Chain A
Amino acid sequence: MTPFLDRALDTAPESLLTPRTAVTVVLLAVLALLPVYTMLTGDAFVLTLFTRILILAIGAVSLNLIMGYGGMVSFGHAVYLGIGGYAVGILAKEGIGSGLVQWPVAIAVSAFYALIVGALSLRTRGVYFIMITLAFAQMIYYVAVGLDRYGGDDGLTIYRRSQFGNLIDLNNKTLFYYLCFALLLASIYLVSRLVNSRFGLVIRGARSNERRMRAIGFPTFRYKLTCFVIAGALCGLAGALLANHTNFISPALMHWTRSGDLIVMVVLGGLGSLFGPLIGAVTFPLLEEGLSRLTEYPDLILGPALLLVAIYLHGGIEGLLQGRRRG
């Protein structure tokens, strides 16, 4: 675990006791012990809330891979939550309850969608890229609205969670929570390996200076597309988890404001940092919840706060803890 943490936190062993490391370790410890708290107090709400947070964190980790490391600002990332969710929901309704079928399908369809959208959108950049990813996501949104057999606008209730035989029972809330937690850690580990590999350096190089990358001999397009597909697949998995968590899917899952939420989580937590998306995914809903108790218009505070983060804290919360102002 230690070498992984070193790499993950990008620090030398002697500087392990930075505020950033401390916060990350405490956060992970709290998340690991949360079900114990629920067991002791019987407060199931917190467990449900944090299961959702962990799932969205996987989505944020996935978005951070393309946006933070690859510079590809996708404004349609929630669509994968929808695709993954509908894969589970539709298969369940059609009588295919096995998670060993549902989840791979959720991942594969998400990857395929990413391949098509990426192949078209990655030829553009900047605002055009943002608009194309948004347009495709809206298209899928309206496709889902039109799926009368699967509830259309009203959504679809999933009566049975994905079946994994004797392997794991997803109806057990504690087990499901730990499964989400394990998959989140696995996805962070995956990203930490990816971004430091040869592949990852190509992606990061292309974000930094694509023209130079091409001049030194990299066909950047195919690498960015691959990265886009990996991120899509990962977020598709998050969608499958989300459907199992809520036992319900609807087009609202992939409304463009959901995509906006994911971007906010990543920017708030820290673009291009390994644990930033998790920090953002935890902070954002808690901030929303806390502010809505203080005022009737939480967005009035949240909006300007995000603006300040975007302008002054390029490394987000994660960067602030590290003592880094400009990323």
Chain B
Amino acid sequence: MARPLLQIEGLTKRFGGVVTTDAITLEIPAGECHAIIGPNGAGKTTLISLLAGELASQGGTIWFDGRNITSVPVYRRSMIGIARSFQITSLFPDFTALDNVALSMQAHRGHSFRFWHDARGDDELRKPALAALARVGLAERASVHVRKLSHGEQRQVEIAMALATQPRLLLLDEPMAGMGSEESAYMLGLLRQLKGGVTTLLIEHDMETVFTLADRITVMVYGRIIASGDPETIRADAGVRRAYLGDKQSEDRAERNG
């Protein structure tokens, strides 16, 4: 079997006494779209932050393409091809949409100790940045300052910035959070296009999206993986149904009370 692109072994993170990531072990082969679901506070975002390198783990190992990256700093993980989007939009509000994406590009085109030439007149950055914006459907909004964009548009810029680095592993933290139905539909189409091309780890609450996109699904509760498998397996798993998809006990209670 081919070596998985991402391999996590016994990854652990505690905040004080709270274990948010409890010895997580997971493998994601190249090209897979892997969804992580679970109730709020299950430790999904923490897992993404650990993988992106923003948080340091207290135990376990992360392998990326066969290389141990557990202690590699965040910016270097970006360099080797791990990109993330943020659940809470995290952009450069005073820059235009194009500036935002171009900056993301710039990070991956050599060092930035270039002090003299106008970076905004640099086709080497602007053209691919515009292409990345066009890909998420924002080409005509390129010169608008990000703080003036709608929430949905800002989410699209988030994705464009992540894509601009030409990642091999894309970590998407609730890309549709707070989007209207039309925007969600557009984003779903976009994520579908990416499928198969970029290996993706997706956190999403919208079950329709998850079951449409994911090749495999992992369910987390209180920092632990309680189930992992293809969508059919997960749909059928009794433990998952109880913990997440619909609480059986509370349904029973409701029946008794009713």
Contact = CB atoms under 8 A, between A and B. Distances in A.
B141 to A, nearest CB: 19
A216 B115 contact: no
B165 A200 contact: no
Contacts of B92: 204-205, 208-209, 212
Contact of B115 (A194, A205, A214): A194
Nearest to B79: A217
Interface in A167-220: 193-194, 196-202, 204-205, 208-209, 211-220
Contacts of A216: 78, 83, 103-104, 107, 161, 165
B211 to A, nearest CB: 29
Contact of B94 (A196, A208, A217, A218): A208
Interface residues of B, number: 35
A193 B115 contact: yes
A198 B120 CA distance: 8
Contacts of B115: 193-194, 197, 199-200
Interface in B162-203: 165
A7 interface: yes
A327 to B, nearest CB: 8
Interface string A213-236: 111111110010010000000000
B167 to A, nearest CB: 10
B253 interface: no
Given A7-B118, A215-B52, A216-B104, A201 B99 contact: yes
B116 A193 contact: yes
**Could you tell me the dominant secondary structure of chain A's interface residues?**
helix
B56 interface: no
A202 B106 CA distance: 9
A56 B98 CA distance: 37
A11 to B, nearest CB: 15
B50 to A, nearest CB: 13
Given A201-B112, A204-B95, A215-B86, 19 more contacts: A193-B115, A196-B118, A197-B118, A198-B112, A198-B117, A199-B113, A201-B119, A201-B120, A208-B95, A209-B91, A212-B86, A214-B54, A215-B54, A215-B84, A216-B165, A217-B104, A220-B75, A223-B113, A226-B113
19 contacts: A193-B115, A194-B115, A198-B112, A198-B117, A199-B115, A201-B119, A202-B103, A205-B92, A208-B92, A211-B90, A216-B103, A216-B104, A217-B75, A217-B76, A218-B112, A219-B73, A219-B75, A219-B76, A223-B112
